[in-house]
Copies of this chain bind each other. A is one copy, B any other.
Amino acid sequence: MSDLKVVQGNIAKPKGFKATGLYSGIKKVEKLDLGIILSEVPAVAAGVYTTNLFQAAPLKVTKQCLDKEAKLQAIVANSGNANACTGDRGWDDACTMQSAVGEAFSIPAHLVGVASTGVIGEYLPMDRIQEGISKLPAVMKEDSGPLFSQAILTTDLVEKTICVELTIDDQVVTIAGSAKGSGMIHPNMATMLAFITTDASIEPSFLQQALRKATDESFNMITVDGDTSTNDMVLVLANGYAGNKQLTEDHPQAGLFYDALSLVMKELAKKIARDGEGATKLIEVEVRGAETVDTARKVAKTVIGSSLVKTAVYGADANWGRIICAVGYSETPIDPERVDVWLGDIQVVKASFPVPFDEPTAKAYLEQENVKILIDLHGGAEQAIAWGCDLTYDYVKINASYRT
């Protein structure tokens, strides 16, 4: 990983990209709610989408564009309104956003991806959005990239960006990511919005394949509350400005690019989990010794998804019985006699049997902001890591009155 480093930078850092955002009046409070990512030239693009049966209009429109030629030159995104369950009018509104962006930036409308997040079942205020889009070119500056990351937030408390640099064919390649997501976070893609830009030159099919694989190890391994939204999507744009030889599966540095993409996506995923609605802690569950990767993932996700584990971590209560319980209902073929559990470095269960431990030490460990639960199934060589957050009073507070 020495060829790979995390650097300062935002979604507009890769060569040939710009981004910006503004307040258009979708949100009731004056917070940025409309943003755009723009590439100087059409970029190779790949996407993964929610598994929810009710797919929102912007997602369907974007998917249709990508299915056609796997290229995008811009992504317009709004927060505050998801344009979901809005029928034909929702579809038309998403298409209008495309054409408005096409007009404002003089690019073909079918190269504009659309993403929306927010309340479900209300029509977009198209007059404000169209006015907002018309103002986007004027606020597009060299340094306006961070505004995009702000414009896509809803109940998020912090912006989620990451930027890495690597060298491919002696050229510096940059990959940057920006994500939003706080509630309605759950495994199986359907997790949030994430946008990734890179100036790498890359074959479309390899980009799609790398995106799908990295999604399984990143966004599909986080959960906040088990809910899966109608709008979730990850899009990657690669405009080739870095000047490397086109990356394919057979390129000698294909593995390095994958590692970098995977790092960007895992860091964004962890930022989303840490910023889970009401969360005070990031919880990491690592499962080792599984017979299959599928078993490792299922066990890790089940433990990270348990409301009882989440509240115990919130209360810094070393109630490992709840961890064992969750392992037990994960619907995996594990041996219930051989499970070890650690909280950080403190072993609390050995061969499914309690290990005496010092309660104050365990409590002190669980009071930290980053809590790691390690589970060894002693049933094989596979492993997986999942991320989540604690369940707190504030989760309830935020969600009991989201619309008001």
A106-140 contacts to B, CB under 8 A, are 119-122
Does the CB pair A400–B312 fall under 8 Å? yes
Q: Is A307 an interface residue (CB 8 A)?
A: yes
Contact of A396 among B120, B314, B326 (CB under 8 A): B314
Q: Is A319 an interface residue (CB 8 A)?
A: yes
A120 vs B392: C-alpha distance when bound (angstroms): 23
Q: Mark A206-230, 1 if CB is under 8 A from B, else 0.
A: 0000000000000000000111111
Does the CB pair B121–A320 fall under 8 Å? yes
Tell me which residues across on chain B come within 8 A of A167, comparing CB atoms.
none
Q: Is A184 an interface residue (CB 8 A)?
A: yes
Provide the main secondary structure of the chain A interface: loop
Tell me which residues across on chain B come within 8 A of A397, comparing CB atoms.
393
A351-404 contacts to B, CB under 8 A, are 352-354, 391-393, 395-397, 399-404
Give the number of copies in the complex: 2
A321 with B120: in contact, given A51-B329, A400-B312 (CB under 8 Å)? yes
Does the CB pair A317–B403 fall under 8 Å? yes
Interface residues of A (CB under 8 A from B): 51-55, 82, 84-87, 119-122, 183-184, 186, 190, 225-230, 305-308, 311-312, 314-315, 317, 319-322, 324-329, 334, 336, 349, 352-354, 391-393, 395-397, 399-404
A329 with B227: in contact, given A85-B349, A314-B400 (CB under 8 Å)? yes
Does the CB pair A317–B227 fall under 8 Å? no
* CB of A223 to closest CB in B, whole Å: 11
A227 with B184: in contact, given A84-B321, A120-B321, A399-B312 (CB under 8 Å)? no
Contact of A325 among B229, B311, B324, B399 (CB under 8 A): B229
Does the CB pair A54–B85 fall under 8 Å? no
Does the CB pair A53–B327 fall under 8 Å? yes
A326 with B227: in contact, given A321-B121, A353-B87 (CB under 8 Å)? yes
Q: A84-B321, A86-B354, A120-B325 are in contact. List 11 more A-B contacts (CB 8 A).
A: A53-B327, A85-B349, A85-B354, A121-B324, A225-B307, A225-B308, A227-B307, A228-B325, A230-B328, A312-B399, A396-B396
Tell me which residues across on chain B come within 8 A of A120, comparing CB atoms.
319, 321-322, 324-325
Does the CB pair B324–A85 fall under 8 Å? yes
* CB of A285 to closest CB in B, whole Å: 15
A367 vs B185: C-alpha distance when bound (angstroms): 27
Q: Which residue of B lies closest to A89 (CB)?
A: B353
A328 with B227: in contact, given A308-B399, A320-B121, A400-B314 (CB under 8 Å)? no
